[in-house]
C-alpha cells in the first residue's frame, strides 16, 4: 500500500502551518456516507442537530466533488453529470475557505473522507490530513476489535489525534 | 500563471446571468454552465449552514487539484466567480474590479432588467480590457 508512501506513521509529523486558535472540528466519513467519527474542539455555533449536520456535510462534499469533476478544465471528457465518482477519479478539491472557517478535505482510495475545519488563515493542510489518515490506519483499522463501517470508539485514536491537532493549530 | 479559464455571474436566485470563457479549457456548453451556476449557488448557501461560528458569508475560495475558484458575493446576493489556474494571485482584486464594471455598465443601463441575462456591449468591452490588463500586469512580473 503505497498510497501515502509508507505503512508506518512517519516519525516526525509535518511542521505546523497554522497559527492561532485550535481547530474547530473534524469529521470522518466512509464511502457510504456513514459518519464514523466526529470531534469538536471549538464550535460556538450549532445550526443543526448532529445527524442532520453530518448528512449535510456529507452531501455538501459529495456535490462539491461532483462539481469540481465537472468543472475540471484539464479533462477532455465531461459527460456523466451526477454519476457518483469513484474515489480518486476525476479532479477533486482539497480545501475551501469562507470568511469564518477553512475546510480541508482528503479522500483515500477506499472512500474514507477526512475533513478538518479550522480558522480561515490556516495554510495547506494536505500533509497533516495524510498524517491523520495514518493515525486512523494505525489506531483504528489495525484495532482487531473495530468493525469497519461502524462509528470509531478508540481511546488511543482520540488522544493521539487531540495531541496532534493541538500541535498544528 | 495568469490564466483565467472562465467567469460566471449569478443573480440572487442562483440563475446564471453572465458567462464568459477564456480559451478552450474553460469552455462549457450552455446547459452545463447553467447547471454549474445553480449548483454553486446552492453549495455557497449550504457552506454557511456548516460554519462553526456566526457571521459566515459563504465560500470565497475553492482549491482543487487542477483549478481554483474565487467567488465574490455583493451585499445584494449577486455572485461573481472566476475559475482560474491554481495559485493565481490577485483574483479578489479582479473580482472587485469586475463588480465595479457591473455597477457602471449594467446596473446603470436603463434598459437592463434586474436579474436578467446581461447583454450590454460596453460591459463586455470593458471587461475584456480589464482582463487583458490583468494578464499583462501579471505576465510582466
Alpha helices in A40-154 (DSSP H): 50-71, 126-136
Report the pLDDT value the prediction gives residue A3, as an integer from 0 to 100: 52
Alpha helices in chain A (DSSP H): 50-71, 126-136, 155-168
Helix (H) or strand (E) holding A96: strand A93-98
ipTM over 0.90: no
Q: Which among A68, A78, A99 has CB closest to B57?
A: A99
Report the pLDDT value the prediction gives residue B141, as an integer from 0 to 100: 40
pLDDT bucket at A70, cuts 50 / 70 / 90: confident
Bridge partners (DSSP) listed for residue B79:
B10, B73
Report the pLDDT value the prediction gives residue A81, as an integer from 0 to 100: 59
| pLDDT tens-digit readout, A124-167 | 999 999 999 999 999 999 999 999 999 999 999 999 999 999 88
* DSSP three-state, residue A28: strand
A137 neighbors A155 (Cβ within 8 angstroms): no
Judging contacts by C-beta atoms under 8 Å, the chain B residues touching residue A96 are 47, 59, 61-63
* DSSP three-state, residue A167: helix
* Mean pLDDT within A6-35: 68
Helix (H) or strand (E) holding B19: strand B16-21
Q: Distance of CA B39 to CAs A62, A128, B15, Å?
A: 12, 29, 10
- What's the rounded Cα separation, in Å, for the pair A24 and B34? 34
| pLDDT tens-digit readout, A77-122 | 655 556 666 777 778 899 999 999 999 999 999 999 999 999 999 9
pLDDT of B110 > 90? The answer is yes
pLDDT bucket at A72, cuts 50 / 70 / 90: confident
Judging contacts by C-beta atoms under 8 Å, the chain A residues touching residue B69 are 71
Q: What is the DSSP track for B109-140?
A: -TTPPTTSPP--HHHHHHHHHHHHHHHHHHHT
* Burial label, A65 (beta-carbon count in 10 A; 0-12, 13-18, 19+): buried
Q: Which among B46, B57, B66 has CB closest to A72?
A: B66
| Of B137, B136, B5, B12, the residue nearest B64 (C-alpha) | B5
The answer to whether the CB atoms of B67 and A73 lie below 8 A apart is: yes
Report the pLDDT value the prediction gives residue B26, as an integer from 0 to 100: 78
| pLDDT tens-digit readout, A37-59 | 999 998 998 888 999 999 999 99
pLDDT of A2 > 90? The answer is no
Q: Distance of CA A37 to CAs A114, A129, B57, Å?
A: 9, 14, 27
- What's the rounded Cα separation, in Å, for the pair B129 and B100? 13
pLDDT bucket at B1, cuts 50 / 70 / 90: very low
Chain A nearest-CA distance from B48, in A, is 8
Average pLDDT, whole number, for chain B? 90
- What's the rounded Cα separation, in Å, for the pair A128 and A106? 10
Report the pLDDT value the prediction gives residue A98, as an integer from 0 to 100: 95
pLDDT bucket at A168, cuts 50 / 70 / 90: confident
A150 neighbors A132 (Cβ within 8 angstroms): no
Judging contacts by C-beta atoms under 8 Å, the chain B residues touching residue A48 are 49
Report the pLDDT value the prediction gives residue A64, as an integer from 0 to 100: 93
Judging contacts by C-beta atoms under 8 Å, the chain B residues touching residue A62 are none
Report the pLDDT value the prediction gives residue B25, as an integer from 0 to 100: 80
Report the pLDDT value the prediction gives residue B136, as an integer from 0 to 100: 65
Phi-psi region of B100 (alpha: psi -120 to 50; beta: other; left: phi over 0): alpha
pLDDT of B57 > 50? The answer is yes
Report the pLDDT value the prediction gives residue B28, as an integer from 0 to 100: 86
Which residue's entry shows cell 446552492? B42
pLDDT bucket at B87, cuts 50 / 70 / 90: confident
Which residue's entry shows cell 512580473? B141
Amino acid at each position: 500500500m503505497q498510497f501515502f508512501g509508507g505503512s508506518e506513521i512517519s516519525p516526525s509529523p509535518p511542521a505546523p502551518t497554522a497559527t492561532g486558535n485550535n481547530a474547530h472540528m473534524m469529521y470522518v466519513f466512509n464511502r457510504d456516507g456513514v459518519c464514523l467519527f466526529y470531534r469538536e474542539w471549538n464550535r460556538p455555533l450549532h445550526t443543526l442537530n448532529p445527524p442532520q449536520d453530518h448528512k449535510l456535510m456529507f452531501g455538501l462534499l459529495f456535490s462539491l466533488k461532483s462539481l469540481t469533476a465537472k468543472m475540471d478544465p484539464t479533462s477532455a471528457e465531461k459527460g456523466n453529470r451526477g454519476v457518483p465518482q469513484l474515489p480518486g477519479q476525476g479532479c477533486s478539491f482539497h480545501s475551501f475557505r469562507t470568511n469564518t472557517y477553512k475546510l480541508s478535505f482528503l479522500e483515500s482510495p477506499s472512500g474514507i473522507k477526512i475533513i478538518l475545519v479550522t480558522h480561515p488563515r490556516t495554510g495547506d493542510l494536505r500533509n497533516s490530513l495524510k498524517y491523520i489518515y495514518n493515525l486512523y490506519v494505525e489506531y483504528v483499522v489495525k484495532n482487531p476489535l473495530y468493525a469497519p463501517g461502524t462509528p470509531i470508539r478508540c481511546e488511543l485514536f482520540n488522544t493521539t489525534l487531540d495531541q496532534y491537532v493541538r500541535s498544528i493549530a | 500563471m495568469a490564466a483565467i479559464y472562465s467567469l460566471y455571474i449569478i443573480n440572487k436566485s442562483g440563475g446564471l446571468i453572465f458567462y464568459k470563457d477564456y480559451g478552450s479549457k474553460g469552455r462549457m456548453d450552455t446547459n452545463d454552465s447553467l447547471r454549474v451556476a445553480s449548483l454553486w449557488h446552492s453549495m455557497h448557501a449550504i457552506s454557511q449552514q456548516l460554519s462553526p461560528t456566526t457571521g459566515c458569508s459563504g465560500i470565497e475560495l475553492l482549491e482543487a487539484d487542477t483549478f481554483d475558484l474565487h467567488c465574490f458575493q455583493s451585499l445584494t446576493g449577486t455572485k461573481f466567480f472566476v475559475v482560474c489556474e491554481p495559485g493565481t494571485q490577485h483574483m479578489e482584486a479582479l473580482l472587485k474590479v469586475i463588480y465595479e464594471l457591473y455597477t457602471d455598465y449594467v446596473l446603470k443601463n436603463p434598459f437592463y432588467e434586474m436579474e436578467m441575462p446581461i447583454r450590454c456591449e460596453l460591459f463586455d468591452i470593458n471587461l475584456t480590457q480589464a482582463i487583458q490588463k490583468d494578464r499583462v500586469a501579471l505576465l510582466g512580473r
